[in-house]
A and B are shown apart, each in its own frame.
Chain A
Amino acid sequence: MLSRVADSLYWMSRYLERAEHTAQVLDVNLQRMLEQAPRHAARRWERVMKTLRLVKTKPEKLDAFTLTSELTFNPSTRESILACMAAARENARQVREQIPSEMWEKINKLYLRVKSATMEDVWRGESHEFLSGVREGIHLFHGITDGLMNHNEGWHFIQVGRFIERAQSTAALLGAYGPDLVNAADRIADVRDYFEWVGMLRSCMAFEAYCKVYTADLRPERITEFLLLNAEFPRSVHFSAIMVQSALNAIAEFTGTKKASRANRLAGRLRSMLGFSQIDEILGEDLNTYLDDIQHHCAQIHVATHQIYISYPIESALAS
């Protein structure tokens, strides 16, 4: 397939995943806020920024209204829902004729809905309704994609984009909560800890899945293990790495590219790193270093994939 088309599918998928993540994190934190004393608010929103990897951009005020508006509608905030939806739609539009029309229609409708909404609508009405609407729209999009699109090379590029983004998002979430988790490991948890942890799990829709595995007994090391190393939970870093690797293998087979080995090797290394890690070792050493390592790996896989399939140097392609 054309490199440009593969690139557009990959980015469409990444941006959608990012929009979903932002919507979910925002939704959970707006709800938590209602149940919490205002004095904790600033810290909460700082952590939201960190979860969304927005540490560099500091809004003027760290209050709920400003941030919600920022993260929903500011087209120049990289992680805002509107910015992500616009970028996802633009990428989908570039390949509109290569994907089932239902996919385009879904993404277009969702974009138009986000674009036409106003902060007043979201704030005065139920923000939850709006944000979960975005999330559901994206879930529906993925359902259409899996159900209607040929599971060809293009579909696998969608998978790679989606799960690289997800691995990075979940790792960022762990990074934002990391210090609290590590501190709490040495003492008995109180109600406030418990409250935060539920919020964290909900931020990646993991609460119910966690309970199924560990019961509702929330412990920092278990939460970390679940979000990082669980191989069955679709939002864990480990699961994402498995998906990335298998999609990259499929792509290598489709294209018959020998040079693919670099991206596949990186994906394989990330996967086995997660597969063979023990949570007590990770926590015993340094969680942050471990998470940085994951981010670094994901970035490398992204670059390698791009270099092999999309922006490869012409002279090397001619030589082979």
Chain B
Amino acid sequence: MHYTIRHITRFHYTHPVSESLTEARMQPITDANQRCLNFELSTSPEARIMSYRDHLGNIVHNFDIPGHHSKLTITAKALVDVQDPAPLPDSLPISAWKELDSIVSRDDFYEILVPSPFTQATPLLAEFTRELAVGRDDDPLTLLHRINSGIFQRFDYAPQTTRVDSPIDDALRARKGVCQDFSHIMIALVRQVGIPCRYVSGYLFHRTEDHDRSAADSSHAWVEALLPGIGWVGFDPTNNLVAGGRHIRVAVGCDYADVPPTRGVFKGQAKSELSVAVSVLPSTEPAPTQMNYSPILSIGSHGAEPDWASEEFAQQIQQQQ
């Protein structure tokens, strides 16, 4: 299926800023199951867009705007062809664990087997691990399905309750959150039993008949786990889905910290407000006449002028070997 994706990101600064540098991870992946046929990124104010492939294989676009500006708009347009993945077996033999362990020992999966910044083990997570009885009693595939639906059933989808960079404890405590939280929780659970598991950022094509919980007009996140004999399989705990032909993958990493859609710094004493609009449509449909923007609560820091007199500065300056 061919999709046209529009992803518009708007930064509003409370005061004019200058020398802003921004990185965007927005170009859909091209691999066996998905082809990005066309991708365009433009900005206002205009900038020269450069790109590179990061250490995780994701395409990153970066640009800078030297002059003063109080608004920054990033528009990404992509045309993607997504294949339905081969159907999964109902379950795997219990011996799959052994096979998995041997794959893991041969190759480098270190980073997606241990906790990463957003998937730290906490007492609340341990409690939840017991609640879902996460362990190696089932075969790996059955366990993954159980975790996927377990999170779906036990958590409410509640936009704006957590921030994109919230620790999983916030969601675990409130039993509600958004796709990032559910993905982080699932990753933390899955890695504990020795299944390589990574974070995927991307988009979900919403059809009315699907009743997806996640919002249609924003980007989406889910996880991918490695299964012996099958390869990477996507699980979407937000919607209790196995990722398929409606999931469009943009970037993969250990967790959200590796793949934020945008990241940047600027000079100036200002706060930035961020709002995002996304539309995912079959390429046969006309472009939407109006985009629906929703605010995003803080994306970490879009930096500010350093305080040269601070204690912190004094400490930084002393490092030496």
List chain A positions with a Cβ less than 8 A from chain B. Answer: 313-315, 318
Contacts and interface: CB of A to CB of B under 8 A. Distances in A.
A314 B19 CA distance: 8
B123 interface: no
Give the most central of B18, B19, B66, B68: most A CB within 10 Å: B66
- Residues of B in contact with A, size category: under 10
Nearest to B64: A314
Contacts of A313: 18, 66-68
Nearest to A314: B66
11 contacts: A313-B18, A313-B66, A313-B67, A313-B68, A314-B18, A314-B19, A314-B66, A314-B67, A315-B66, A315-B67, A318-B66
Contacts of B18: 313-314
Given A314-B18, A315-B67, A318-B66, 8 more contacts: A313-B18, A313-B66, A313-B67, A313-B68, A314-B19, A314-B66, A314-B67, A315-B66
A318 B67 CA distance: 11
A313 B67 CA distance: 7
Nearest to A313: B67
Interface string B12-28: 00000011000000000
B287 to A, nearest CB: 33
Interface of B: 18-19, 66-68
Contacts of A318: 66
A315 B66 CA distance: 6
Contacts of A315: 66-67
A313 B68 CA distance: 9
Contacts of A314: 18-19, 66-67
A183 B173 CA distance: 80
A318 B68 CA distance: 14
A314 B66 CA distance: 6
Nearest to A317: B66
A314 B68 CA distance: 10
The 7 closest A-B pairs by CB, nearest first: A314-B66, A315-B67, A315-B66, A313-B67, A314-B19, A318-B66, A314-B67
A315 B18 CA distance: 10
A315 B19 CA distance: 9
Contacts of B67: 313-315
Nearest to A318: B66
A42 to B, nearest CB: 37
A313 B19 CA distance: 10
A318 B19 CA distance: 13
B219 to A, nearest CB: 31
Contacts of B68: 313
Nearest to B66: A314
A314 B20 CA distance: 12
A318 B18 CA distance: 14
A246 B18 CA distance: 34
Contacts of B19: 314
Nearest to B65: A315
Nearest to A316: B67
A315 B68 CA distance: 9
B44 to A, nearest CB: 15
A313 B66 CA distance: 8
A274 to B, nearest CB: 36
B26 to A, nearest CB: 25
Nearest to B45: A315
A314 B17 CA distance: 13
A269 B68 CA distance: 31
B45 to A, nearest CB: 10
